[in-house]
């Protein structure tokens, strides 16, 4: 969701990559549905594994919610924003909508801070 919002609102101003420490093979269908509700199509997106090189080559890293070094190395590098977002897996559609809106808010705040840095 964060990658999709970032691409929508950054308008190709920044390169964004989204990945997880234990990505599933397919996107959560409820996530796809709640994003579709607001006009963002995720059907062609594919979860990908977070690589050390992604963190090393990034200007900014956002941690969505994992909390330990073993499963989330991004927590232990400098300049990481921790958004503390719940995992939508197993959540109701209403809860996933709240998560979506929280992520959108985080992305817009991040974009504002990145644009003021330039």
Q: 78: exposed, middle or buried (C-beta count within 10 Å: 0-12, 13-18, 19+)?
A: exposed
pLDDT (tens digit, 0 to 9) for every residue of the chain, 118 residues total? Answer: 999 999 999 987 888 888 887 888 889 999 999 999 999 999 888 889 888 888 888 888 888 876 555 566 555 566 778 888 998 999 999 999 999 999 999 999 999 988 776 5
Query: What sign does the dihedral 14-20-24-28 (CA atoms) show?
Result: negative
- The H or E element spanning position 82 is strand 80-82
- 93 CB contacts (<8 Å, ≥6 apart)? 30, 33, 34
Domains contained in the chain, CATH given = 2-117 (3.40.50.2300)
pLDDT of amino acid 9: 93
pTM listed for this prediction? 0.85
pLDDT of amino acid 115: 79
Return the structure tokens found at 17. 């990559």
């Amino acid at each position: 969701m964060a990658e999709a919002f970032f691409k929508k609102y950054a308008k190709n101003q920044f390169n964004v990559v989204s990945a997880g420490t234990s990505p599933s093979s397919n996107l959560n269908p409820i996530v796809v549905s709640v994003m579709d509700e607001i006009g963002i199509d995720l059907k062609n997106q594919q979860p990908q594994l977070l690589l050390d090189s992604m963190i090393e080559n990034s200007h900014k890293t956002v941690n969505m919610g994992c909390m330990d070094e073993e499963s989330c190395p991004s927590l232990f590098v400098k300049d990481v924003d921790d958004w503390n977002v719940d995992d939508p897996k197993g959540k109701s559609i209403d809860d996933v909508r709240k998560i979506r809106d929280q992520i959108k808010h985080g992305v817009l705040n991040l974009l504002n801070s990145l644009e003021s840095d330039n």
